Amino acid sequence: MADAATKAEQHVWVKSMDMPDDAIKIKGFDFNKGVKLDEVVKHFLTTGFQASNFGMAIEQINKMREHRSKPVNLSPEEEKLDPIYRPRSDCTIFLGYTSNMVSSGIRETIRFLAQHRMIDCIVTTAGGIEEDFIKCFAPTYLGDFSLKGKDLRPKVCEQKQHGTLWTPSKLIARLGKEIDNEESIYYWCYKNEIPVFSPAITDGSIGDLLFLHAYRNPGLVLDIVEDIKMMNSIAAHSKHSGMIILGGGLPKHHIHNANFMKGGADYGVFINTAQEFDGSDGGARPDEAVSWGKIKSSATPVKIFADATLVFPLLVSQTFAKDFKSDSNGQER
């Protein structure tokens, strides 16, 4: 028995390693101190699990913002660049999201960022474009996942938009101009010259309208290659860059690939519920992008495994909107 105990001790009583000085100690918020939302969120970093990832995401975004606030010194060659390619700040912030973000109340959070020019480039899906315009005509109501498709089909109304320009981004800018509605994300993108790329613009009701238009008025061409050139060039000419991506798929891949052209992004925050075992782009962890050179090896990107409708407004409240001050007209001061 004594021998058995001695052997057990050899396996159980292993000498602990000393923790590094900068190790984070787990500690949550003490509600005996009262309900203070900012303090609760501040303790997310030391809470563990996805709460700690949330805390690290705040740090990532604030690093982007800090870099972005620095004056950018352009070389003579950069001064000659087309304004769309010329770096506007020391850190270009790319925002990507799937269409369901615009269908939800996250639309207002995205609009806030575009309205006050807190981001530099947007990549989204066709639904991420058309849902914004649809809401300008009529509100979207809270539904039920159990509603039957056969009952919904007769209630769908198509809204035809006019404007025949050369690329999807120019089409989106024109629609943003024509909608002339301050509730629209893309009105503010047009007004603040924030390029919006939607490489799969035909994958939605806009595609249906373009299909009908092509028969009634043949000759319209949307040059996707020109948009890819523009998006990749914006990244390539950036001094530094950061990525904030809600969801996966097309927006995530295109933003990653654009940053590949500059040797990788410096910062990255990803919010989605996808797992890596299904082989999806959304499920791929940030380190996968590091292996491609889409994120710099020196970067510390963060992925939050969570529903973006829960996380993103709270994340913006602790970063972009934290020190935001507006005048009576809602404009930033």
Catalytic residue selected from 294, 296, 303, 322: 294
Residue 175 in tokens: 């629609």
Yes or no: say if 30 and 43 are a contact pair by the CB < 8 Å rule: no
How big is the chain by its Cα radius of gyration, in Å?
A: 23
Strands (DSSP E) found in the chain: 92-97, 121-124, 196-197, 241-246, 267-272, 302-305
Locate tokens 């058995």: which residue? 4
User: What DSSP designation does 121 have?
Assistant: E
Distances (CA, A) of 302 to 41, 51, 184, 261: 17, 12, 29, 21
Q: Enter the tokens of residue 92.
A: 């270009």
Please name the residue that has the structure tokens 């709270």: 314
Query: Contact, 182 vs 188, CB < 8 A?
Result: yes
Structure tokens belonging to residue 33 = 């101190």
Q: What's the length of the chain?
A: 333
**Phi, psi at residue 218, to the nearest 5°?**
-60, 150
Residue among 301, 333, 102 nearest 204 (CA): 102
Is residue 294 annotated as a catalytic residue, yes or no?
yes
Write out the two tokens for 125: 């899906």
Spatial neighbors of 234 by CB under 8 A, at least 6 apart, are 84, 85, 92, 120, 121, 195, 258
Cα–Cα distance for residue pair 108/123, rounded to 1 Å: 17
277 and 283 Cβ atoms separated by less than 8 Å: yes
Catalytic residues: 294
